């Protein structure tokens, strides 16, 4: 029979695979693509720094936990590019299966806690989930702006697509949404994105 410690260790070794899941956005200081682990870490730091921009006071520890686990499902499901219409059709089913397997590696109580946090994030059921989701959507915009629209230009993403997909940033932070709109408008002016 597996001990609690053995299950926890198995989970921790399994999530090391997150470092191998590449995203479509490049890191700011290099020409290589960002991986999911780097993205999750950066979001957790963003939560610490930007917490004062949330529309409502949030439980910061809960937000950080959500951000650290929200992409673990991509170990099995892969990273689905935000603007990939076909890939997003079955994304929820793929990720749900992955969540059950990955969180199921943990002792029952811990696995259920992480599964519930992941579901809350996905459903945007709380002010914490809405704020966490806002940061998740803002991060690639910041990177693309710093990288002169690299991903946007490579995949022919328009400013209209960016604004439409990310409008819900305002649900978690109106001030970060206003800043996002400024960045997109400046990106148009600088030729980082097409209108």
Helix (H) or strand (E) holding 25: strand 22-26
The pLDDT value recorded for residue 85 is 87
* The predicted structure's pLDDT at residue 183: 97
Residue 44 near residue 64 (C-beta atoms within 8 A) = yes
CB 192 within 8 A of CB 144: yes
pLDDT at 30: 80
Q: Splitting the chain (195 residues) into consecutive groups of 10 residues, what average pLDDT does each group show?
A: 91 98 92 96 98 98 98 96 88 96 98 98 97 98 96 96 97 98 98 95
- Residues sharing a CB contact under 8 Å with residue 90, sequence separation 6 or more, in sequence order: none
Instruction: Determine the pLDDT at residue 1.
Output: 63
Burial class, 168, CB count within 10 angstroms (exposed 0-12 / middle 13-18 / buried 19+): middle
């Amino acid at each position: 029979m597996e001990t609690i410690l053995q299950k926890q260790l198995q989970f921790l070794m399994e999530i090391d695979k997150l470092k191998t899941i590449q995203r479509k956005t490049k890191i700011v200081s290099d020409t290589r693509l960002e991986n999911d682990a780097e993205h999750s870490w950066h979001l957790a730091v963003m939560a610490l720094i930007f917490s004062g921009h949330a529309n409502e006071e949030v439980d910061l520890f809960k937000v950080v936990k959500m951000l650290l686990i929200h992409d673990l499902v991509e170990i099995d499901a892969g990273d689905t590019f935000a603007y990939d219409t076909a890939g997003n059709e079955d994304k929820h089913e793929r990720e749900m299966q992955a969540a059950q397997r990955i969180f199921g590696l943990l002792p029952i109580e811990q696995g259920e806690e992480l599964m519930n946090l992941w579901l809350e994030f996905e459903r945007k059921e709380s002010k914490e989930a809405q704020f966490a989701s806002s940061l998740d959507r803002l991060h690639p915009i910041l990177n693309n702006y710093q990288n002169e629209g690299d991903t946007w230009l490579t995949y022919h993403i328009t400013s209209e697509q960016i604004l439409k997909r990310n409008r819900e940033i305002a649900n978690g932070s109106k001030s970060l949404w206003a800043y996002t709109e400024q960045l997109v408008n400046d990106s148009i002016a600088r030729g980082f994105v097409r209108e």
